[in-house]
Amino acid sequence: MTQSAALTLAQRLLAFNTINPPGDEEACTRYLADWLQARGFDVQLQRFGPRRLNLIARLPGSGAGKPLAFTGHLDTVPLGAQPWRYDPFGSQIVDGRLYGRGASDMKAAVAAFACACLAQQESIRAGSGAVMLITGGEETGCDGARALIDNVDLPEIGALIVGESTANYPVVGHKGALWLRCATQGKTAHGAMPELGVNAIYLAADAIGRIRQFIPGAPHPLMKQPTLNVGRIEGGLNINSVPDRSWFDVDIRTAPNLNHGTIRHNLASYLGDTVSIDTLIDLPAVLTDDGHAWIQRVFHYCQPLHDEALQLRVVPYFTDASLLTDALASPPTVILGPGEPTMAHQTDEYCELGKLSQAQQLYGTLLNDWMQQPVS
């Protein structure tokens, strides 16, 4: 298996438009499933909506221990309003960079660990095996992972590698996400007689002014302060009526020391009876003990790729690990992928070819190491 195999596969995956919303991963997922099946993987497809698919791919082992698992998603975010210099579905290579929507987040990583598994197939089959959990719908709240958990008997695994964008830097966890919709109810009236109504937009504006001072909870030693952002607001039907309904969406990023139910309760009390709150997304934080033997081995193999001594790091974005780690009986989990963290969701998104090659080699090393020393 040559190093160019991951690049070739990444280019093929980038050519598929899997933008979410609306979400359409089927053609891309079927291509990857056929590609893997032709090379010896056992594959299983799971539908979770029109043109929406998840994929479980296995290389069974004959040795003792549980398999090593990789997870990644094939959906991508929209292109944005800014024009792209490079075709977002053209898989162009310029100055050592592979361009395309999803290059960093995270089709290059999927290609890298798929090719690493194939390169290590002999070792994997003689060892404890390998599993790939490929999802859709991650970008809109881990919809595919949730469907996978609810409808499929997931395999037992020993450890999980999440191929999200870290520039091949090992990350031991990420923040949780609590997305809330806060709604206000008013009374409609003619816009020329506003005194006869109750303006729901004004109520929402007052609540937003107050919510900026709300503190979700205490800081975490590694994840630091929780954050809160009002990301969207909507209200009213027409300009010449008093709006009787408005709502705004709140994005709260949390840590393992915080309870989402408590945060919601405290926010509701803080905002008062004029605001009703519904939960849109509730994804827990993920954090693996850095003293775990396998995590230490991951850091050992990653260290030569970086000039300075590796430090414990977490990332603020969520991943499918929010749901998968609990469903898989809480295996040690590391976030590790070739993508550039600053390129995720950006115009002219790219992945450096050197990082892609490094990732394939690194994943292969971790696979070979696991087959010799699986965690019980």
Q: Exposed (0-12), middle (13-18) or buried (19+): which is 122, by Cβ within 10 Å?
A: exposed
CB contact at 8 A, 120 and 112: no
Neighbours of 276 (CB within 10 A): 13
Tokens of 153: 């008997």
User: Are the beta carbons of 367 and 124 closer than 8 angstroms?
Assistant: yes
- Residue ranges covered by each domain of the chain: 4-174+285-372, 176-283
pLDDT 10s per residue in the chain (376 long)? 444 899 999 999 999 999 999 999 999 999 999 999 999 999 999 999 999 999 999 999 999 999 999 999 999 999 999 999 999 999 999 999 999 999 999 999 999 999 999 999 999 999 999 999 999 999 999 999 999 999 999 999 999 999 999 999 999 999 999 999 999 999 999 999 999 999 999 999 999 999 999 999 999 999 999 999 999 999 999 999 999 999 999 999 999 999 999 999 999 999 999 999 999 999 999 999 999 999 999 999 999 999 999 999 999 999 999 999 999 999 999 999 999 999 999 999 999 999 999 999 999 999 999 999 888 6
Task: Mark whether 352 is an active-site residue.
Answer: no
Residue pair 140/38 in contact by the 8 Å Cβ criterion = no
Q: How many CB atoms sit inside 10 A of residue 107's CB?
A: 33
pLDDT digits (tens, 9 = 90+) for 13-72: 999 999 999 999 999 999 999 999 999 999 999 999 999 999 999 999 999 999 999 999
For the beta sheet containing 333-335, the strands, ordered from the edge strand earlier in sequence to the opposite edge, are: 42-49, 52-60, 129-135, 68-73, 159-162, 333-335
Query: What's the token pair of residue 23?
Result: 């979400």
The whole-model pTM stands at 0.95
CA atoms within 13 A on the CB side of 291: 0
List the CATH code of the domain at 4-174+285-372: 3.40.630.10
Q: Are the C-beta atoms of residues 290 and 222 closer than 8 Å to each other? A: no
The one catalytic residue in 24, 25, 26, 75 is 75
In three state form, how does the secondary structure of 102-151 look? CHHHHHHHHHHHHHHHHHCHHHHHHCCEEEEEEECCHHHCCHHHHHHHHH
Task: Name every residue whose Cβ is closer than 8 Å to that of residue 81 and which is 6 or more positions away in sequence.
Answer: none
The C-alpha angle 222, 166, 360, rounded to 5 degrees, equals: 135
* DSSP count for the chain of H helices, then E strands: 10, 16
Please give the pLDDT value at position 4: 82
Of 162, 113, 167, 117, nearest to 142 by C-alpha is 162
Residues with Cβ within 8 Å of residue 311, at least 6 apart in sequence: none
267 CB-contact burial (10 Å; exposed 0-12 / middle 13-18 / buried 19+)? buried
Percent helix, strand, coil in the chain, to 5, is 35, 25, 40
138 catalytic, yes or no? yes
Report d(CA 279, CA 207) in Å as an integer: 17
Topology (CATH) of 176-283: Alpha-Beta Plaits (3.30.70)
- Residue of 25, 138, 143, 349 marked active site: 138
- Longest Cα–Cα distance of the chain, Å, equals 79
Closest-CA residue to 11 (of 46, 38, 35) = 35
